[in-house]
Structure 1
Amino acid sequence: MTHYSILDLIPISEGSTAKTAIKNSVRLAQYADQSGFTRYWLAEHHNMPGVASSATAVLIGHIAAATNRIRVGSGGVMLPNHAPLVVAEQFGTLETIYNGRIDLGLGRAPGTDPLTARALRRSMNNQGEHFPDDVVELMGYLAQASGNSVRAVPGEGTEVPIWILGSSLYGAQLAAYLGLPFAFASHFAPDSLEQAVEIYQTTFKPSRQLDKPYFACSINIFASDTDEEATFIKTSHQQGFANVITGKPNFLPKPVEDITAKLEPGLLASVNHALRFAATGGPERIHTELSKLIAKHKPDEVIFNSPIHNAENRLKSFDIARQAIITI
């Protein structure tokens, strides 16, 4: 059976608050903890009114404290925004408290707009091109004592599992070279998925952390009791993604009956193209669509992304997906 997990940006729905969004995510994580999900990941984003996951390490600790079994981690931390030592100390501390349950997924994008990226940047000379060196530096801080004059305390010797996240061939190449697990962001950028996975699997070099390739892909899930209801609740994400790509991020919108009346044809086509790696429908259709995606791409793990306006509908969507995948 394919492992299954959750990606959460802690969406703040239109008419709600960040506090309520975080409470809803804690409840979702507790459900996942009790229902066989492998991991619960939170993604770093900034300057987005509808996303409450900016302080990612803080939220990982909050979710881990509210759960017992499930792995909790970053999907991911945007490393260009941070000094590797600080990340090592944060995640080393989390691993020290929640031993054996913490993941550290790393991305090389800033996770925001250019202006906010400038405000976040620890050094204006440190752009994404330094990402490989920063990853290696971070791995060194989390490794066993090496006699270095700079040490991560806590952190040193915890060997927190590191993942490389990506939406292009670059991340696949780096993950393969370093012998790390690789998660592809197919939930919003699926164009290079097949080529990236082939590169990763064929060029993978075993490492201390991993002896063979381990590949996860993220899938948008909009599941409900009927196909029609699922199509309806999906419109929130379609509108929200349209706002992001047009430079107008906002709260996660309420769903609409007719998305074609809300988004002009060219924009809707772009949104649907980017979000096409998805399963949408009632239980039977979700099972069929997930089965096809898993059979085609053969991931070791799927990571469900389900940004739905109503918290109850969101939890139901994940549960229908869970029930589908355990029978595939």
Structure 2
Amino acid sequence: MTAISVLDLVPVRSDQTTADALAATLALARVADEVGARRYWVAEHHNMPAVAATNAPLLMSLVAAATSRVRVGSGGVMLPNHSPLVVAEQVALLEAAFPGRVDVGIGRAPGSDPVTSHLLRRGSTGDGVDTFDADVAALAALVRPDGVQVRVGSSTYPLRATPRAVSAPQLWLLGSSSYSAQLAGRLGLPYVFAHHFAGRGTDEAVALYRETFVPSETLAEPRTIAVANVAVAPTAQEAHRLALPQVRTMWRLRSGTTLEPQELVEDAEAAPLPASADDALRALTSSWIIGDPAQAAEQVRELARRLGTDEIMVQPVAGATRGTPADRAPAREQTLRLLAEALA
């Protein structure tokens, strides 16, 4: 059976405050826990009007406290923005508080615009990419219960993320390119491909990961997940309607148009995109899974078969209609419920 997990960017609608968006995320996480989702991951993006997921470890703690079974993780922590030791300390504490439930997805994208990235990195002139391989390896070592021994001159210095850990969070490498696939394979880490925004190259990247995989202490065989944008409703027509605000948000992002809080469905319908955007929109949404429960379940199974995985991570992209409670996202909850039921 194909398992589902969830990726949440904590979208902020035009009728929501940040507090409302967080409340809606926690409600969605409870639904994921209820329907048996394997993981619930939160993203890291900065200075974006429609995204409240700015601090993955903090969001992870909120989600973990609001749920009881689902694994909670980052999708991902953008490591060039952070010291590996700081990330290790954060997730080691989470693992201590919620043992056996913590994942750490690591990415190398900035997750923001150049100005915000510059400020996040305290004015550093580097982009963090040149040290990414070493930083991932350092984080993998630092989250182990026994920590690492740092060489200082002629002696060694013990360094632990937390004093008396008995377990470690599971590390995953995120990516959308051959670079990330090869790095995950070489380090023996499980790999998550960003199929939801890359769309193309998924099969090639996963195949490359499997070809280059070297067994590690924590993983004997390759393990992969693909992320897909998903909207499910009782009818395919309604699912496409509910996905419209997210489609328009992605079009703005790709076309360089000013970003705004996510529109309500009726507002999106009232202001159609120009006809010249049609080809771009078809290419943009060709990898999305939008339909009724049976259609969506079959597409999820087919994607899992293609990639040789038993797990697909869904980003629920169904929007909200006018009159929806500001602190809930019923159409996103419906996507999870209907998909889980159809896959059972």
Taking structure 2 as the reference length, the TM-score comes to 0.89
Partner of residue 216, structure 2: 207
- Give aligned pairs, total: 326
Please show how residues 185-200 of structure 1 align to structure 2 within 5 Å.
185-200=194-209
CA offsets 1:202-258 (integer angstroms, 9 cap, x no match): 211100110000010011111101111111001011111112223322211122598
C-alpha change, 1:126 and 1:261, in structure 2 (3 Å) is closer
Comparing both chains, which one has the higher relative contact order based on Cα–Cα distances under 8 Å and sequence gaps of 6 or more? 2
Partner of residue 324, structure 2: none
Partner of residue 316, structure 2: 306
Do residues 29 (structure 1) and 29 (structure 2) align? yes
Q: What amino acid sits opposite 1:189 in the alignment?
A: A
Do residues 251 (structure 1) and 269 (structure 2) align? no
In structure 2, the residue corresponding to 1:187 is in which secondary structure?
A: helix
Counterpart CA distance in 1 for 2:87 and 2:278 is 38
Q: Is the Cα–Cα contact under 8 Å of residues 28 and 315 in structure 1 kept in the other structure?
A: yes
Of 154, 167, 189, the residue aligned with 2:162 is 154
Q: What amino acid sits opposite 2:208 in the alignment?
A: I
Q: Is the Cα–Cα contact under 8 Å of residues 6 and 37 in structure 1 kept in the other structure?
A: yes
Counterpart CA distance in 2 for 1:251 and 1:261 is 15
Please show how residues 99-114 of structure 1 align to structure 2 within 5 Å.
99-114=99-114
Taking structure 1 as the reference length, the TM-score comes to 0.94
Q: Is the Cα–Cα contact under 8 Å of residues 31 and 336 in structure 2 kept in the other structure?
A: no
Stretch of structure 1 that moved more, 227-236 or 146-155 = 146-155
Partner of residue 340, structure 2: 322
Consecutive unaligned residues in structure 1, runs of 5 or more: none
Partner of residue 72, structure 1: 72
In structure 2, the residue corresponding to 1:128 is in which secondary structure?
A: coil
Deviation at 1:187, TM superposition (A): 0.5
Q: What amino acid sits opposite 2:185 in the alignment?
A: A
Counterpart CA distance in 2 for 1:77 and 1:156 is 24
Q: What amino acid sits opposite 1:214 in the alignment?
A: R
Consecutive unaligned residues in structure 2, runs of 5 or more: 151-156, 321-328
Deviation at 1:165, TM superposition (A): 0.2
Partner of residue 326, structure 2: none
Of 243, 249, 252, the residue aligned with 1:234 is 243
Q: What amino acid sits opposite 1:83 in the alignment?
A: S
Q: Is the Cα–Cα contact under 8 Å of residues 260 and 268 in structure 1 kept in the other structure?
A: no
C-alpha change, 1:306 and 1:38, in structure 2 (3 Å) is same
Partner of residue 50, structure 1: 50
Counterpart CA distance in 2 for 1:325 and 1:257 is 32
C-alpha change, 1:117 and 1:257, in structure 2 (3 Å) is closer
Q: Is the Cα–Cα contact under 8 Å of residues 304 and 310 in structure 2 kept in the other structure?
A: no
Q: What amino acid sits opposite 2:19 in the alignment?
A: K
Q: Give the aligned CA root-mean-square deviation in angstroms.
A: 1.9
Counterpart CA distance in 2 for 1:216 and 1:130 is 25
Please show how residues 73-88 of structure 1 align to structure 2 within 5 Å.
73-88=73-88
Deviation at 1:184, TM superposition (A): 0.3
In structure 1, the residue corresponding to 2:286 is in which secondary structure?
A: coil
Partner of residue 130, structure 1: 131
C-alpha change, 1:45 and 1:155, in structure 2 (3 Å) is farther
In structure 2, the residue corresponding to 1:302 is in which secondary structure?
A: strand
CA offsets 1:165-184 (integer angstroms, 9 cap, x no match): 00111111010000000000
Counterpart CA distance in 2 for 1:260 and 1:303 is 31
Counterpart CA distance in 2 for 1:173 and 1:289 is 27
Identity of aligned residues (%): 36
Q: Is the Cα–Cα contact under 8 Å of residues 141 and 156 in structure 1 kept in the other structure?
A: no
C-alpha change, 1:258 and 1:42, in structure 2 (3 Å) is closer
In structure 1, the residue corresponding to 2:149 is in which secondary structure?
A: coil
Q: Over alpha carbons, which structure has the higher Rg?
A: 2
Counterpart CA distance in 2 for 1:156 and 1:245 is 46
Stretch of structure 1 that moved more, 95-104 or 245-254 = 245-254
Counterpart CA distance in 2 for 1:7 and 1:204 is 25
CA offsets 1:258-305 (integer angstroms, 9 cap, x no match): 869622244343243233222211122223322332333332310011
C-alpha change, 1:217 and 1:195, in structure 2 (3 Å) is same
C-alpha change, 1:312 and 1:84, in structure 2 (3 Å) is same
Counterpart CA distance in 2 for 1:204 and 1:225 is 41
C-alpha change, 1:152 and 1:263, in structure 2 (3 Å) is farther
Q: What amino acid sits opposite 1:287 in the alignment?
A: A
Q: What amino acid sits opposite 1:235 in the alignment?
A: L
Do residues 277 (structure 1) and 278 (structure 2) align? no
Partner of residue 96, structure 2: 96
Q: Is the Cα–Cα contact under 8 Å of residues 141 and 155 in structure 1 kept in the other structure?
A: no
